[in-house]
Chains A and B, each alone.
Chain A
Amino acid sequence: MSYEEKGTWVFLVVSVAGYGVYLALVLPQLLNGTPVGEIDYVPAVLWTIGGSIVGAIVLRILVEIVVPSGSTRGDVRDKEIDRLGERVGNAFLVIGALGALVLAMFEAGYFWIANAIYLAFVLSAILSSVTKVVVYRKGVPAW
């Protein structure tokens, strides 16, 4: 497995884990019937984003210690795969932005708007990573 592919796996794992922690912190409050205006979601968003960044760096270093790569240099194939994955991920960012726009138009609470955007970030990260991993495994499509 190349250095870049390992990085994609790390990003995927950290994205899923980070959002999982966020849901574990916020969902119980929502299910307990706490009014959405009183749910303390902002620290959870900030801590899980910050934690994901730090976690990705630490996990990346650990992976390289356990399974060192022959080279840390990417090549043209890595760039093509990255571009393809990012294009898929960007579609979800646009969908999330449109969702947030609609929520704002209907004067939904800040909680729902912020969560729509956060979910779009996470879906974008997951979908782009999954696309990259599949292309690394199955091959770059010829279209």
Chain B
Amino acid sequence: MVKPTQVTNDIRSLRFRHGEMTQAELAERIGVTRQTVIAIEQGRYSPSLEMAFQIARVFGVPLDAVFQYPETEETAS
């Protein structure tokens, strides 16, 4: 069953707290396209664990400061 990701993230606010870093700058730092950063921010794409760590490292924060997962899993529709 196809379902949207339940992973949420704070990348947008982290970017602004880090010198108003642009999506293009973040994309270049982690080696992806700007469209992929946009898709991650909007919850349209779940990055791999490796990419998630790379993003957290760019901001110098632990992984769960960037990505969150709900405590109770919602019933898949």
Contact = CB atoms under 8 A, between A and B. Distances in A.
Question: Does B bind A?
Answer: yes
Nearest to B24: A70
Contacts of B42: 139
Interface of B: 1-6, 24, 31-36, 39, 42-46, 48, 51
Contact of B44 (A2, A5, A71, A139): A139
A76 to B, nearest CB: 7
Consensus secondary structure, chain B interface: loop
B3 A74 contact: no
A3 B34 CA distance: 11
14 contacts: A1-B35, A2-B35, A3-B33, A74-B33, A75-B32, A75-B33, A76-B32, A77-B39, A138-B44, A139-B4, A139-B43, A140-B39, A140-B45, A142-B6
B45 A77 contact: yes
What are the nearest 3 A-B pairs in CB distance? A139-B44, A141-B2, A75-B32
A73 B3 CA distance: 28
A86 interface: no
Contacts of A143: 1-3
A138 B44 CA distance: 7
A73 B24 CA distance: 14
